[in-house]
Structure 1
Amino acid sequence: MIKTIEQAYQFVKKVKVCTIFSSDKVEHASLWEHVDLPEKQPGEKGWGKKMTAVWTWKNQLPAQYPNEIFYGKINGGFAVLMDMDYMASHHFPRAYKDIQTQDGLAQHIYSKVVTEPWDTTSLRKATMQEVGCTKSQFDTALKNLQVTMNIARLNDPQIERDTWVAFKELYLNIWKQCVNDDI
């Protein structure tokens, strides 16, 4: 059972892919079900030790080990931590979909992210004003851009909000191995 971030790191390296929280809709193990810390107790303020650890580690692991741990989304929109070698050799080649095959809203969001990093809140607000989409439509498009490996979360421990960049900006070597385009 996992009690430290180092043990969480070893867990991700061992299982190759794990969801952040458990779900019977995926075959992957979850970090949540393997963390051995107390859940929130009655009367306790905040999230409790287990939730705080899992939520923190999902960001810390890829920031602390950027060449070894990947954070992303898989089909169904499930957040995962993934061994980087596994992501590059197995997941990316299967999951990647060219941005031109995505809907107009996803392409609009991508056109913003490919120009400069955007945090989710600012990107959502700007996109909703520019194209008149709903929050739900935006969230779905953002999730699909992650699932199709077009965008990735920036792994900067100094940034507190989820901030998005083009996948190929963050992982150019993986991109070049799998995608045949003129960069």
Structure 2
Amino acid sequence: MVKTFEEACEFVLKHKVCTVFGSKDSPYVSLWDHTDLSAKKPAGGGWSPRVQAVWDWKTRIPQTFPDEIFYGKVPGGDAVLMEMNYLREVHYPKAYQPIEELPELSQQLYELIQMEPWYTGDLRREAMERFGCTKSRFDTALKKLQISLNIVRSLDPRIENDFWLPFREVYWDIFERYQESGD
């Protein structure tokens, strides 16, 4: 069972892919389900020790070890932490979809992110105003961009909220490898 940041890193590397929070439909092991910290909320309110730890780890692990661990979403929409070689050799060739194959709203969001990185809230407001979409449609389109490996969250530890960048700018080596091979 996982209790520390170091153990959480080892857990991800051992399992290659794990969901951040539990998902009954996921084929992957869950970091949440294997974290041995209290899920009981403190008397004064706030997050339980387990929520605090797992929420921190999902961001801090890939920021601390960007060459070893990837944060993203998999088909079905689950947030995962993934060992980088698994991303490179197995997941990317199966999951990547060219932007042209995605729904129009996803393509429109991608165009905005390509021009400049965006925080989720700012991007949502811009998309709702510019494209007339609902919050739900926006969330679905953003999730599709993550699942298809067209965008990723910034790994800059100074950025606390989700800040979106094109996948190919962060992981050019992976993107280029499969574009050249035609896979």
Q: Name the TM tier (shorter chain).
A: over 0.9
Q: Summarize the Cα distance change of 1:109–1:41 in structure 2 as closer, same or farther, 3 Å threshold.
A: closer
* 1:152 alignment partner, SS class: strand
User: SS at 1:45's partner residue?
Assistant: coil
Q: Deviations over 1:39-75 (max 9, x none)?
A: 1246242111100000110000010001111000001
SS in structure 2 of the partner of residue 179 of structure 1: helix
User: SS where residue 38 of structure 1 aligns?
Assistant: coil
Where does residue 139 of structure 2 map in the other structure?
139
Q: Give the Cα–Cα distance (whole angstroms) in 1 for the partners of residues 180 and 148 of structure 2.
A: 16
Cα pair 2:42 2:48 within 8 Å, conserved: no
Q: Is the 8 A contact 2:41 2:47 kept in 1?
A: no
2:127 — aligned with what? Answer: 127
Tell me which residue corresponds to 1:100: 100
- The alignment's TM-score, normalised by the length of structure 2, stands at 0.96
SS in 2 for 1:157: coil
3-state SS, counterpart of residue 72 of structure 1:
strand
Partner of residue 90, structure 2: 90
Q: How do 1:49-64 residues align onto structure 2 when only pairs under 5 Å count? A: 49-64=49-64
Any idea what the Cα deviations from partners look like across 1:72-105, whole Å, max 9, x if unmatched? 0001100000001100100000000000111110
SS in 2 for 1:70: strand
Aligned counterparts of 1:174 and 1:16: Cα–Cα separation in 2 = 17
Task: Quote the residue 1:17 is aligned against.
Answer: 17
Q: Which amino acid aligns with 2:9?
A: Y
Q: Alpha carbon RMSD of aligned pairs, Å?
A: 1.2
Q: Aligned equivalents of 2:125 and 2:33: distance in 1?
A: 35
- What's the counterpart of residue 113 of structure 1? 113
Q: Larger deviation: 31-40 or 91-100?
A: 31-40
**Is contact 2:72–2:152 with CA below 8 Å preserved after alignment?**
yes
* 1:34 alignment counterpart: 34
The residue type paired with residue 46 of structure 1 is G
Equivalent position amino acid for 2:40 in 1: K
Deviates more, 1:37-46 or 1:138-147: 37-46
Q: Deviations over 1:17-36 (max 9, x none)?
A: 00011111011100001111
Output the CA distance in 2 between the equivalents of 1:115 and 1:155: 18
Cα distance in structure 1, aligned partners of 2:106 and 2:41: 41
Residue identity opposite 1:3 in structure 2:
K
Match of residue 81 from structure 2: 81
Letter in 2 for 1:52: Q
Q: Secondary structure of 2:79's match?
A: strand
Asked if 1 retains the 8 angstrom alpha-carbon contact of 2:151 and 2:164, the reply is yes
Identical amino acids, percent of aligned pairs? 48
- Between the aligned partners of 1:32 and 1:176, the Cα distance in structure 2 is 34
Where do 5+ consecutive residues of structure 1 fail to align? none
Q: Quick one: which amino acid aligns to residue 142 of structure 1?
A: L
- Could you list the structure 1 runs, at least 4 aligned residues long, displaced by more than 6 angstroms after superposition: none
Structure 2 residue 178 is the aligned partner of structure 1 residue 178 = yes
